[in-house]
Every structure is written in structure tokens, then in C-alpha cells.
Structure 1
Amino acid sequence: MNANIGSDFDDFLAEQGILEEVSATALKRVIAWQLTEAMKEQKISKKALAERMHTSRTLVDRALDERDPGMTIATLANAAKAVGCRVEIRLLPDHEPVV
């Protein structure tokens, strides 16, 4: 019998020791996707975004790469600002309180 059947997926990831890594990767993917969508809506090229951010096109490529976990919050926030947005990160309790 599988001990994980019926358990929370976050519990499974925590048991594997990868919850924080998976959560950070998912957050980066969402922000990269949102930046890409904002660029499409505003018809902003990667070159134009790089100019707005005062950085290189290579850094923009990395910021938009969903698989690149190495981007700093500051870089992502700078990219968001360049498309008229902001990044919001909050701390949340691990689990909902039991009532």
C-alpha cells in the first residue's frame, strides 16, 4: 500500500526534501509567464525590455526562462517595473489553522 495516497502533495514534497525548491521554481515560472504576457499585451520586444531595464538582452532571456531558477528577486522586480507591474511576495503560514 502506498503511504502517500490521500496525503497532501506539499507533504509528499516535504518528505522528499524538495518542497522549498519546487515552490521557488513554480513561483519563478509564474512570474516569467506573467512578464511574457505583459510584454505581448504591450508589444514590448526583449530588446526593448532590456533597454528599459538598463541591462543586456541575455539577462532578459534568463529572466523570461521558466527553467532558470537563478534569477534574483531584484532582477524580476526590475523586469516587472519595466512593464508597469510589481512583484509581490508574501509569507504565508505552512498550513491553515485547524478549527
Structure 2
Amino acid sequence: MPELKFKPVRHGHKEFLAKAAIRKGFIEAYDALALEYQVANQMLKARSRAGLTQDAVAERMGTTKSAVSRLESAGKHAPSLTTLKRYAKAVGCDLQVRLVPQKTA
């Protein structure tokens, strides 16, 4: 079955953040999800580099497009390491997890 090539939709993230930042509590909520946003961003970039659609990743993972969509949505779902490894393999990547000592003041 031929795989579809992923064509990203352009999104003005900086403009979105500038507009959203005026809402009360947005900055605090956004900052609290910083790690989740970083992981989601890495997932989207990896899928884009692989030239895959969510459907294609779902097929490789043996799941549904909606499950892949949830994985790529920061803050809505906390995937297990097993799921992250399956996603990484589906987009041609290895998963690496590091624990970094906190900076002391």
C-alpha cells in the first residue's frame, strides 16, 4: 500500500501565543505544560521528517489515527514509554529519555 506524504499546514504559533497570552491564567497554564509541549513538538517534527501522515503512523503502530492525534496533543494524554517507543519506531526514530539534575540557585 503506497504511503501518503505528509504536507504540514502552516501555523503562526508566535501569533497564536501573543493573542492567547492576554487571557487570564494562560501563561501559567502554558508554562506548566512546557515538557508536554516539547515532547509533542518533537513528535510532530519526527513525523514530518519521515513524510508520514497520522494515518500512516497509526497503521505502522497498529492503532487508529485518532489515537495518534491524541499522542501528538500536548497535555491531553500522557503516553506510556511503551507507546512512545512504538511511535518513535513508526517514524523511524529511537526514543531517548534522560534525567537531568536540577540547577541549584
Tell me which of 61, 67, 84 is aligned to 1:59: 67
CA change 1:46–1:93 in 2 (3 A) is same
Instruction: Report how far residue 36 of structure 1 moved.
Output: 1.1
Counterparts of 1:1-99 in structure 2, within 5 Å, are 22=32, 25-95=33-103
Count how many residue pairs are aligned between Structure 1 and Structure 2: 75
Larger radius of gyration: 1
Instruction: Report how far residue 33 of structure 1 moved.
Output: 1.1
Moved over 4 A (4+): none
Instruction: Report how far residue 38 of structure 1 moved.
Output: 2.0
CA change 1:81–1:27 in 2 (3 A) is farther
- Compute the TM-score of the two structures, normalised by the length of structure 1: 0.62
The residue type equivalent to 1:30 in the other structure is: Q
Name structure 1 gaps, 5 residues minimum: 1-21
Name structure 2 gaps, 5 residues minimum: 1-31
Q: Which residue of 2 aligns with 1:6?
A: none
Write the distance in 2 (CA, Å) between the matches of 1:66 and 1:40: 17
- Compute the TM-score of the two structures, normalised by the length of structure 2: 0.59
